[in-house]
Every structure is written in C-alpha cells, then in structure tokens.
Amino acid sequence: MTGPASTPIHTPATEARYDAEILIIGSGAGGATTAALLAEAGFDVLVVEEGDWVEQGSVVSFSLEQMDRQYRSGGVTVALGLPSIAYTEGRCAGGGTEVNSGLYRRPPAELLERWRSQYHIRDLDPDEMYVIADEIESAINVTTVPGAVSAPSAVLRRGADALAWQNSESPRWMTYPPGGSASSGQRQSMTRTYLPRAQRAGARLLTQCRVRKLSISGTSASDADVVLADGSPGRIHFRHVFVCGGAIHTPALLQRSGLRERIGDTLAVHPTVKLAARFAEPINIPDDVPVHQVKEFAPEISFGGSASHPGLVALALADNWGEFSHALHEWERVCVYYAAITSEGKGRVKAIPGLRDPLVTYNLTARDKQLLRSGLSRLTLLMLAAGADEVYPSYHNAPVVRSSADIASLQRSFAATKATVMTVHLCSTVPIGEHPRCAAGSFGQVRGMRNVWVNDASMLPDAPGVNPQGSVMAFAIRNAQRFIETERPHG
Ligand SMILES: Cc1cc2nc3c(=O)[nH]c(=O)nc-3n(C[C@H](O)[C@H](O)[C@H](O)COP(=O)(O)OP(=O)(O)OC[C@H]3O[C@@H](n4cnc5c(N)ncnc54)[C@H](O)[C@@H]3O)c2cc1C
C-alpha cells in the first residue's frame, strides 16, 4: 500500500490551502496511532509528514540510499556536550518505526507507578495501560523469533549465562513466513499497521510536507504554515492539532510557534557506548540486529546488540583505527554490541531563528560517565565470557582486550569524553503530568493551550529505561481515547 497524498481544496498561484478537523504533524509511533484512533472514531483527520513514503524492502537496510531517504540529515545529528552525543531519527512515513530494531518492551509497572506519583499524571492506571498494550501487541504482531536465534544474539545469551547474568529475548513487531527463520521477519512498522488503518477510516496523509510553524492567538492555534514537496508554501486550517514530530522536532516546532515555557528543557536519552568483538567463527548478519538483551544491572545499565553492517563495524573500530583496523578484513567474524545507561543528565532543544534545525545540547552527569565506564567494562567481560578472542572498545586510544586481565587497563584509560557516545532513544522534551514542571497536562494538552496537543516521545516524563516505542504507543493511545471521550466528532 502506498501513501496517497491528499489533494488541496483549492490551489491559488502562491499557496495551497487545506482544511482538517484534526491535524496530526508526524506519522511515527505517536502520530500514526493517534491518526488511526481518531479517524476510526469519526474525526476528519489530516496527517502531514516531512519525509517520503518508502515501501519496506524497496531500499537496502543501512545503505546510503536508506540513510538519505528514511533518516533525518542522513543519520548524522548530534547533541552538543562533553562528550557530544550522536543521535539518529527516522524521517519518513512511519518515522522511527520504519528504521528501528523493532525490539518491544511494555512500560514496566514500577515505571508507570513512579511516573504517576512523581509527575502527578492523572488517572494513570497500569491495568488500563496493559489492556492497551495487549491491543498494540496484537496490532503490530509482537512475537519472538521462530526457531533458533541468530548467532550474534546467541553471543549475548551465552556470555550472560556463563556469568549467571539475567538475560532474555526481546520480542519484536514482526511477521515471519511459515517455516521462516530469525532473519526472515518483516517489520510491522506504522506504514504496515496503523497508517493503513487510519487511511481505511478516511484519514488523509500528505507526505513530504514540513510544518514550519503554527499560528497562535491567545490560547488557540488555528493554522499551520507548511512547505510542500516542491518547496512551495501551503496553509492548513484545523480545529485541533496533535504535534507528533518526535522528541527533537515537536518542541522545536512549538518554540517556533511562540510556545516556550518549559518546552524543550528536559530532553532525556539513553546514552550508549559500544564495542566490536571478534569471534573464531563468522557470526555477522549485516542486515539484522540481535534480539537478546542482558538486564542484570537494569535499569541503570543494559546490554544488547547493534546493527553490524560492515560500514558500522568500521565506525565502531574508528576510535583507534591504527590498532583496530585489521579486524575489518575479517568483518564476518566481528559484531557490534552496546551498553546503554539510564542517564540523570538532561538536554535542551532550542529553535534558533533562521535555522531549519534546532540546537540540541546534552550534559552527562559525573554519575552517568561512571556508569558508561562500568557498562563498557562489564560488556567487555560479557564478550570474553561468550568466547570473543579480541574486543575493540569504542573510545579514543582504547586497548585491544584479549583477556579479563586487560579490562583493568580499559578501566584506567576510559573517559566518557574520549568515547563515541550515541543514542537512538530520545524523549521527554514536553513531559506530561500535573506537576508544575510538566509542559503538558496529563493527557498531552500543551499547558495554556486549548487545542494544541503533543502525543509522541516528547510526552514521556523521563527516559523509561527500556526500549521506548511500546511506551510511546501506549500513552498515545491512552491520550487519544481520552480525547475521543471528551471531544466527540461533530455531526
Ligand atoms: C535506529 C533506531 C533504532 C531504534 N530501535 C528501537 C527499538 O528497537 N525499540 C524501540 O522501542 N524503540 C526504538 N527506537 C526508538 C523509536 O523508534 C522511537 O522511540 C519512536 O519512533 C518515537 O516515536 P515518535 O512518534 O515520537 O517519533 P518518530 O517515530 O520519530 O516520528 C516523528 C515523525 O515526525 C516527522 N516530523 C518531524 N517534524 C515534522 C514537521 N515539522 N512537519 C512534518 N513532519 C515532521 C518526522 O519526519 C518523523 O517521521 C529506535 C530509533 C532509531 C532511530
């Protein structure tokens, strides 16, 4: 199914104009679910998405073409700090759900309880959230791999079992053909699930359409200024707007529209450090990621596997290229793994007049930096326990680690400021709740605004400590349900 563009109601020479009862900005995990629920409830919904509709399988995973067509800025974006943190976002119909690893976790019960009490989120009921989670898991087919897990995944399980560390397979949103193997899955992203559902219920989708700003008067927004695929301007009139552009671009758009109070000041991420590990046998599967995660030290530290396309192996070796580059000749024997931490640091997103993209900054705390050191050391131990013959930690001038005796030298020489710190989990720039520090109410209504809502990763009160997409979708559906109850469609 392709994404049909919506036709303008009339097209004057200079500006296309559209009208919608509900405008949804962004078609990722938050926007697509919101669109499906509201369209199915009878609202007139228009979804606009800055990126293109790219049919799954039409581009090679991790290729330059994919980076160009489905990632923001070709996948090269950075939060400035000491160290800076490289981050990646999807920019296409379906947003991050089209390019991500598909690893699913429900929001843990203790997390929901903490968020409810700490941020005063009204009517946040774990039982209700788990009914929603059941629906999501069925809609996107959350399942474990058929048969044996892949060799890179088995590395994590083997190492953790040898150390008696808690580990488990994370299910994914995938379908597998009958008799299929671990690598034969098709990701049940938003372009295969909630977006077609929204379209079947009458929602219109306009791709390659970027919203520049909202027109706001008093407590109401009325129009969105947009740029269309051919660069021409357009205007969309709406009754309600749901901003679902992801944790960086939702606050940036709200700021460009004049809404600044508490917006964009509380960016939370899961920082990761990486290593490459070489094994005796070929284990690399270039177009897939491991499904095992090691949670012995969770939520502070979690371990998992990264994409290990040869280009990404080279990137993981680049911090000490002189010592490590020989491993690239044997990339089939090498895989990349990460240690992720829950960070106490905070970041900021700031829209800068005249610049298209916002300035993003992030400060790790001393405790965060210590956790990164400890995470990388333990991940190295895990690799050795799994049988790695050489481990290449990703920081400037890191040593090659061949035995547990070498880990002491890693611990001595590691500094977070020398490491390649990355993240793909960004959230919490417009946190919800009744607490005064929250930028939106308990159901996503932007503070002080009558008809502006956020319903994406921005709204999570802080970093969840688990893969976030399940939490984003569950909260987005909860908020959409509440909106439907309180704002029944006209007619
Ligand atoms: C490489 C990678 C791997 C990941 N792996 C996992 C995983 O295994 N499990 C997991 O749970 N999570 C994972 N994530 C995170 C997950 O994808 C995100 O948490 C989730 O997609 C966030 O949903 P969202 O709706 O907030 O934003 P997104 O899904 O990012 O969607 C936002 C959309 O809004 C559009 N947009 C932004 N601004 C505008 C504008 N002004 N006008 C029009 N459109 C706009 C963007 O183009 C984008 O398509 C991963 C992310 C990445 C990038």
187-199: pLDDT as tens digits: 999 999 999 999 9
pLDDT score of 181: 86
Q: Residue 12 pLDDT more than 70?
A: no
Q: What are phi and psi of 65, to 5 degrees?
A: -65, -40
pLDDT (tens digit per residue) in 317-333: 999 999 999 999 999 99
Find the mean pLDDT for residues 339-355.
96
pLDDT of 13 strictly over 70: no
Cα gap 447→430, rounded to integer Å: 10
Contact 424, 87 (CB under 8 A): yes
Kindly report, residue by residue over 254-295, the tens digit of the pLDDT: 999 999 999 999 999 999 999 999 999 999 999 889 999 999
DSSP β-bridge partners for residue 200 = none
- From residue 330, alpha-carbon distances to 305, 386, 397, 484 in Å are 18, 18, 21, 56
CATH architecture of 16-53+92-140+188-263+428-486: 3-Layer(bba) Sandwich (3.50)
Q: Which atom of ligand 1 is nearest to the CA of 469?
A: 11
pLDDT tens column, 414-439:
999 999 999 999 999 999 999 999 99
Q: Which atom of ligand 1 is nearest to the CA of 27?
A: 33
* Ligand 1 centroid to residue 466 C-alpha, Å: 15
Ligand 1 atom having least distance to the Cα of 425? 15
Amino acid at 373: R
Which two tokens mark 48?
Answer: 């606009």
- Distance of CA 185 from the midpoint of ligand 1 (Å): 21
* Rounded-to-integer distance, Cα 293 and Cα 165, Å: 11
Choice among 25-39, 81-95, 153-167, 476-490 with the minimum mean pLDDT: 476-490
Residue 57 is predicted with a pLDDT of 87
So where are the chain's domains?
16-53+92-140+188-263+428-486, 146-185+271-423
Inform me whether the pLDDT recorded for 408 exceeds 90: yes
Q: Which atom, in ligand 1's list, is nearest to the CA of 476?
A: 25
Q: Whose CA is nearest to atom 14 of ligand 1?
A: 100
425: annotated active-site residue: yes
Residues with CB under 6 A from ligand 1: 25-31, 48-51, 88-92, 95-97, 99-103, 210-211, 244-247, 249, 253, 424-425, 456-457, 467-470, 472
Of 22 and 14, which is predicted with more confidence?
A: 22
Q: Count Cβ atoms below 10 Å from residue 491 Cβ, excluding itself.
A: 5
189 closest CA partner among 259, 90, 281: 90
pLDDT at 5: 47
pLDDT at 491 over 60: no
- Quote the ligand 1 centre to 72 CA distance (angstroms): 10
Output the pLDDT for position 8.
47
Q: What are phi and psi of 206, to 5 degrees?
A: -115, 110
Selection from 388, 307, 379 nearest residue 339 by Cα: 379
pLDDT of residue 490: 56
292-312 pLDDT, tens digit each: 999 999 999 999 999 999 999
Distance from C-alpha of 446 to C-alpha of 440, rounded to nearest angstrom: 4
- Cα 96 to middle of ligand 1, angstroms: 3
- % of the chain at pLDDT higher than 90: 92
> Are 216 and 446 contacting, i.e. CB atoms less than 8 angstroms apart?
no
Pocket test for ligand 1, best of 211, 212, 249 (most atoms within 8 A of CB): 249
Give the position of tokens 């581009």.
59
**pLDDT mean over 445-455:** 98
266 φ, ψ (degrees, to nearest 5): -130, 40
The tens digit of pLDDT for each residue in 206-218 reads 999 999 999 999 9
Nearest Cα residue to atom 3 of ligand 1: 100
Q: Above 90 in pLDDT, residue 367?
A: yes
CA proximity to 394, closest of 412, 408, 415, 367: 415
pLDDT band at 184 (very low <50, low <70, confident <90, very high): confident
Tell me the mean pLDDT in the region 18-34: 98
Mean per-residue pLDDT, 461-473: 97
Q: What is the 456 CA–ligand 1 centroid distance (Å)? A: 9
Mean of pLDDT values over 368-374: 98
Q: Which atom of ligand 1 is nearest to the CA of 467?
A: 11
What pLDDT is recorded for position 92? 98
Pocket test for ligand 1, best of 100, 208, 257 (most atoms within 8 A of CB): 100
pLDDT class of 63 with cuts at 50, 70, 90:
confident
Q: Residue 11: is its pLDDT beyond 90?
A: no
Region of poorest pLDDT, from 59-68, 139-148, 454-463: 59-68
Rounded mean pLDDT, 28-53:
98
Centre of ligand 1 to C-alpha 4, Å, is 21
CA of 269 to the centre of ligand 1 (A): 13
Across 210-239, average pLDDT = 97
What 3 state SS string does the chain have? CCCCCCCCCECCCCCEEEEEEEEEECCCHHHHHHHHHHHHCCCCEEEECCCECCCCCCCCCCCHHHHHHHEHHHHCEEEECCCCEEECCECECCHHHHCCCCECCCCCHHHHHHHHHHHCCCCCCHHHHHHHHHHHHHHCCEECCCCCCCHHHHHHHHHHHHHCCCEEECCEEEECCCCCCHHHCEECCHHHCHHHHHHHCCCEEECCCEEEEEEEECCEEEEEEEECCCCCEEEEEEEEEEECCHHHHHHHHHHHCCCCCCCCCCEEECCEEEEEEECCCCCCCCCCCCCEEECCCCCCEEEEECCCCHHHHHHHHHHHHHHHHHHHHHHHHEEEEEEEECCCCEEEEECCCCCCCCEEEEECCHHHHHHHHHHHHHHHHHHHHCCCCEEEECECCCCCECCHHHHHHHHHHCCHHHECEEECCEECCCCECCCCCCCECCCCEECCCCCEEECCHHHCCCCCCCCCHHHHHHHHHHHHHHHHHHCCCCC
Output the CA 118–ligand 1 centroid distance in Å: 26
Using most ligand atoms within 8 A of CB, pick from 46, 47, 50 the residue to mutate for ligand 1: 50
Cα dist from 1 to 24, 199, 304, 383, whole Å: 20, 10, 33, 42
- State the chain's mean pLDDT as an integer: 95
Name the catalytic one among 309, 425, 435, 490: 425
Which residue among 49, 67, 227 is best mutated to probe the pocket of ligand 1, counting the most ligand atoms within 8 A of its Cβ? 49
Q: Measured from the CA of 102, which atom of ligand 1 is nearest?
A: 8
Q: Whose CA is nearest to atom 27 of ligand 1?
A: 246
Give 67-117 pLDDT, tens digit per residue: 999 999 999 899 999 999 999 999 999 999 999 999 999 999 999 999 999
State residue 220 phi and psi, 5-degree precision: -125, 145
